[in-house]
Amino acid sequence: MEYQNLLPRFLKYVQVNSRSDEYSDRFPSTEKVENFQKKVIMPDLEDLGLRDVHYNQQSGCVIAEIPATVDYDVPVMGFLAHCDTADFNAENIRPQVHENYDGKSKIQLGDSEFFLNPAVFPNLQNYQGQTIITASGDTLLGGDDKCGVAELVTLAEYLLAHPEIKHGKIRLAFTPDEEIGTGAEHFDVAEFGADFAFTVDGEAPGKLDWGTFSAAQFSLEIQGVNVHPAVAKGQMINAIQVGIDFQNQLPGAEVPEKTDGKAGFFHLTNFTGTVDHARLDYIIRDFEREGLEERKNLVKAIVAQMNEQFGSDRIKLQMSDQYYNMADELAKHMEIVDLAREAYKKQGLEINEDPVRGGTDGSQLTYMGLPCPNLFAGEENMHGRYEYTVLESMYKAVDVMVTMAELNAAK
């Protein structure tokens, strides 16, 4: 088997807790992320004999280089995968390997009460005879994006072992804090030294992402007036109720659970508070920049109207953009997308280019001068206990990257 170390490598990686923390004031956001990068990934890369293995403190990235096997100029291609996992329990992850899945049975997650049911998760039916990897029911798996991390290391191992494969210089980056949307903003494009790159952080084989949401986030800090309820009339301002009143003025149908396709949304991600003080955190998503601005303006208008009714700035709004639809910028670099398309076709894959209802590090990197679509990594049902990946999907991801390296050197 060409990639015999991929499975044990992946199982080793997912058992390391590298969860990020959106409320942290350090970078990378947790010591766990940084330790995984420095104490696990870097030694593995060094053991393979890669060039220029180092940790870039500014970008919080582990960087490495696969040397070229040709003596002529080839555009430098990069591949990136993020090392952090999402905000679900990541302590004591116990991966479960289910070989030769029959494509129809429920898969019990460890000895828990939870099952992967193909009636609920129909993609499972596509993997008859293949190896499914899950967690044990009380944690996420961490395949998002340790699938990509393991695949990049395996790509390096394979190309170093096969110098007869013609390819140019390939740069690798193992990044932090993608799940909280702050990792890419620190990325050092010049130091990375690639002409273009691909994040390896997508779903099932064939998925090719070069269109994403445009995204913003905002928070509301609401100052109430707390007095005894016996004398509250005309005096109490319940901050919790103010938050509810704000939420009820947003379009009720424009939420994640009621939208799909190219429909955007407002998403309340956190609501905490007392009568005296409340905080609400939201994300806004829209595929069009104009649509994103309209949604932001609606929020600002509601806040302004409510504060006018209070006669003071009782609601404090903080809002910022996160990333933009990379399709708008990648339209200038479609030869990169075409490279991936050609590799997918050579690997016999049916290409799915539906815009992703989310974002990747590539969304920011593309606007920072590093064109960066997203390749599939084989991760499915991300961010929770029902997450799984398919070993054969991971093999295919490495196959695609090897083919892309060859195609890039042949052009």
Contact 109, 69 (CB under 8 A): no
Active site includes 294? no
Alpha-carbon radius of gyration of the chain: 23
3-state helix, strand and coil shares in percent for the chain, rounded to the nearest 5: 35, 25, 40
Q: Which residues are 173's β-sheet partners?
A: 63, 80
Q: Please provide the size of the chain in residues.
A: 411
Separation in Å, CA 410 to CA 39, 165, 348, 402: 36, 11, 20, 13
Contact 205, 396 (CB under 8 A): yes
Secondary structure class of 112 (helix, strand, coil): coil
Give the residue among 291, 298, 282 at the shortest CA–CA distance from 214. Answer: 291
Contact 70, 170 (CB under 8 A): no
Q: Which of 34, 44, 65, 84 is catalytic?
A: 84
Active site includes 308? no
Helix (H), strand (E) counts: the chain: 11, 17
Residue 246: what are its φ and ψ, rounded to 5°? -65, -50
Give the residue among 345, 339, 342, 347 at the shortest CA–CA distance from 392. Answer: 347
Q: Which of 21, 157, 177, 178 is catalytic?
A: 178
Residue 341, both tokens = 């398309």
- Burial class of 367 by CB neighbour count within 10 A (0 to 12, 13 to 18, 19+): middle
Query: What is the rounded distance in angstroms from the CA atom of residue 37 to the CA atom of residue 199?
Result: 17
Query: What is the rounded distance in angstroms from the CA atom of residue 283 to the CA atom of residue 267?
Result: 5
What is the set of active-site residues?
84, 178
